[in-house]
Every structure is written in structure tokens, then in C-alpha cells.
Amino acid sequence: MSLAWGDVPDAVRATLARGVVIPAHPLALDADRQLDAERQRALSRYYIDAGAGGLAVGVHTTQFAIREAGLYEPVLALAAETAGSWTERPLVRIAGLVGRTDQALAEADTALGLGYHAGLVSLAAFAGASEDERLEHCARLARRIPLVGFYLQPAVGGVVLGPSFWRRLAALDNVVAIKIAPFNRYRTLDVVRGVVEAGAEERIALYTGNDDHILLDLVTPWRLSRGGEAVTVRIRGGLLGHWSVWVKRAVEVLERAHAAVEAGAVDPDLLALDARITDCNAALFDAANDFRGCIAGCHEVLRRQGLLRGIWCLDPAEGLSPGQAEEIDRVCAAYPDLTDDDYVRANLARWLS
């Protein structure tokens, strides 16, 4: 089985190209660290109703360990089934693809069989490999499934990838988007530069995964030179772990960013949101402790809202860092306009039904 991007429904392709909020879907577990299907389904319904344009499942926020736990296919299936039954709106379904090539191809086959439109490729398993090896891996995947490149920050398992890699990746026909998440301005620019040098800026949708710089990524005109001529590139949307919480507000922020770009003017109040959002992210993602509590931090917000029963991760040792709960308290009190607690409270019973 294989899928070319041109064979994906037009409405789905237009959604990705326009730029939307794509939450990186968490994993709902019960106290025994088993899949909580009711809460997993409720999360998907929440994201859809809040205005997300897609779902990314089996990615870092879903916990890479779902493979060893035998949950990869059940979790992907549950999200796909929920999306299909809950809305007729076109949603981009993206599946995380990890491991060496045989494993990633098998995961691509699973995703395609469940109706996913693209695969987000992690290169964590290629630490120490050559650029040619990494590109061959991506090329083989792209012949199977539309591919979303992924610059994962090294602090949580990513590898450093230079502009040559991104130029060569962008030249692959079935690469349709890139999630830029190195949490580093220089490395972010390497991705944009690579796409521009490949002449692929019209074909490839750029999405921010830089949870520490969301808003400015979205409103910045990335103006680079190619052959002596200026080329302006935009990051259109976000595929973010941060956007697994407070999704109603995330959708509103993206709409404001799109409106500002269209108007050609970014007002100071919108710019001021960047630091406030980053302050929230520092608490959620546990920046003070090198992101050790990043998944648990998102779980904690969802637990407080009633969407999750607890913050359990597959790894019993993974949880909130000392002081992280207090930091989440602080940002929730400081920035209530960036939360969507009232929206969740009004709809939770329906999502859990």
C-alpha cells in the first residue's frame, strides 16, 4: 500500500496548506497505566470541537513507548474512528513514524490502513548516522506515505540536522510539510533556508513546533535570498505538544496571526502575547529541568480540566518535576485569558458521553 499526496482529498490538502492548529495528541491512561479509551476519545472530541485542523498521533506527546506497550495501532485507530464519527470537517490525520526503516515502514502501513494522510518522521533512531543514511530512510518512507519532516529538539531525543539535509529532504516529491521544533533560532533558520534553496516553499507547508517561540514563528516573514532574489516564506500553522492544552485559545491565537499577516501589520498587543505564551510553556514543558516533565505538565492541565483522570505516563518514573505544579499554578493565575477552562467545563460531559 502506498499513498501520494495528490491522492489525498483536496479539502485535506488545502487545510494543511492554509495552516491550522494540530495538537500533538496525548495518551490517556488509567491508574494501572492501561489505555483509558473513554478519556482518549474525549481528548480527540475536545480538539475537534475547539477548532483544531488536524490530529497528530503516535508522536512524542503520545509517548514513543506506546510501541513497546502494544498501543500504537489501538491509539491511532481510536483517534481515526473518533474523528470520522464526530465531524464531517476535513481534518489532517498525521501519524508518528519512528525507528529504523523497517519499523517506520511498518508503522506507515498501519497508519495508511487506518486512513491517515501523512507520517511525521522521527530520526532519533539515526543518531550518529550519515546524512545520506538519514535521507535514504526518508526517501523510502516518502515512497510509501506523504511525509512530514520533523526537527525534534536534541533535549528530548532529536538529532542536529543542517541546511543540506533540509534542502535534500525538501527536494523529495512526497514531502508535504515540515514541523520545525529544535527550540533554536539558528536551527530553525536552517530548515527555512533548506526549503528555499530547494525551491520547495510553495509545495511544503512549514509548521512551528517551537513551543518556546510560537507566535513570533507565525508572524515572521522569513525573507531569504535565492539566486540573488528575495524569497519570503511563512510558517503557516503549528503542530505542538503545547497545543494539546488550551486548544480553543490556540485556535484564536492562530486566527489573529493569520489576520495580521494578511493585513501586513502586527500590532504590539499581538506581539506581547509571545512572551506570555512562552512563560506558560516554560511551566508546562518544565524548561527549568531540561523538559523532563514536558508530557506530564500537559497531562496536569488536562487533569485539572477533567479531561484526564491522572497524569500517569507509561514510564512510572516520568512525572512532574519538583516545583512544576507550582509553576503551572502561577501561569494559570497570571494568564487566565490563555486558558480555556470555561469552554472545557461547558462541554466535558458531552465529550465523555
| C-alpha grid cell, residue 74 | 489501538
pLDDT at 279: 97
Q: Given pLDDT bands bounded at 50, 70 and 90, which one contains residue 261?
A: very high
Question: What percent of the residues of the chain are helix, what percent strand, and what percent coil, each to the nearest 5?
Answer: 50, 15, 35
CATH topology for the 5-263 domain: TIM Barrel (3.20.20)
What is the reported pLDDT for 153? Answer: 83
Give the residue from 127, 112, 123, 134 showing the smallest Cα distance to 181: 123
pLDDT of 157: 77
> Residue 233 and residue 254: Cα distance in Å, rounded?
17
Instruction: Return all residues near 232 (Cβ < 8 A) that are at least 6 apart.
Output: 221, 222, 223
pLDDT tier, 152 (very low <50, low <70, confident <90, very high otherwise): confident
> Which residues, 6 or more positions from 160, have their beta carbon under 8 angstroms from its beta carbon?
154, 182, 187
Q: Does 153 or 344 have the greater pLDDT score? A: 344
pLDDT at 156 over 80: no
Domain ranges of the chain: 5-263
Model confidence pLDDT, tens digit, residues 51-105:
999 999 999 999 999 999 999 999 999 999 999 999 999 999 999 999 999 999 9
- Which ranges of the chain does DSSP label H, i.e. alpha helix? 10-18, 37-49, 72-86, 101-113, 131-142, 163-170, 185-197, 214-219, 247-263, 268-284, 294-305, 324-334, 341-351
> Rounded to whole angstroms, how far apart are CA atoms 318 and 134?
30
Q: What is the pLDDT of residue 283?
A: 98
pTM, full prediction: 0.96
Number of Cβ within 10 Å of residue 346's Cβ equals: 10
- Which whole number is the average pLDDT over 251-255? 98
Per-residue model confidence (pLDDT) at position 154: 82
Residue 286 has pLDDT above 90, yes or no: yes
Q: In the predicted model, what is the mean pLDDT of residues 8-34? A: 98
Please give the pLDDT value at position 170.
98
- What separation in angstroms does the CA of 52 have from each of 98, 211, 280, 344? 24, 17, 20, 14
User: What was the pLDDT predicted at 19?
Assistant: 98
Residues 252 and 270: their CA atoms lie apart, in Å, by 11
Given a contact cutoff of 8 angstroms between Cβ atoms, the answer to whether 176 and 159 are in contact is no
| pLDDT exceeds 90 at position 199 | yes
Are the C-beta atoms of 62 and 29 separated by less than 8 Å?
no
pLDDT score, position 116: 98
* pLDDT tops 80 at residue 347: yes
- Chain segment 287-325, per-residue pLDDT in tens: 999 999 999 999 999 999 999 999 999 999 999 999 999
pLDDT digits (tens, 9 = 90+) for 23-33: 999 999 999 99
| Mean per-residue pLDDT, 136-163 | 92
Contacts for 301 with CB less than 8 Å, ≥ 6 apart = 245, 246, 284, 328
Q: What is the mean pLDDT of the chain?
A: 97
First-last CA distance in the chain: 35
Asked if 232 and 203 touch (Cβ cutoff 8 Å), the reply is no
Neighbours of 82 (CB within 10 A): 21
Cell of 157: 531525543
**pLDDT for residue 272 is more than 90:** yes
CB 212 within 8 A of CB 278: yes
Query: What would the mean pLDDT of 327-344 be, rounded to a whole number?
Result: 98
Q: What is the pLDDT of residue 159?
A: 87
pLDDT score of 290: 92
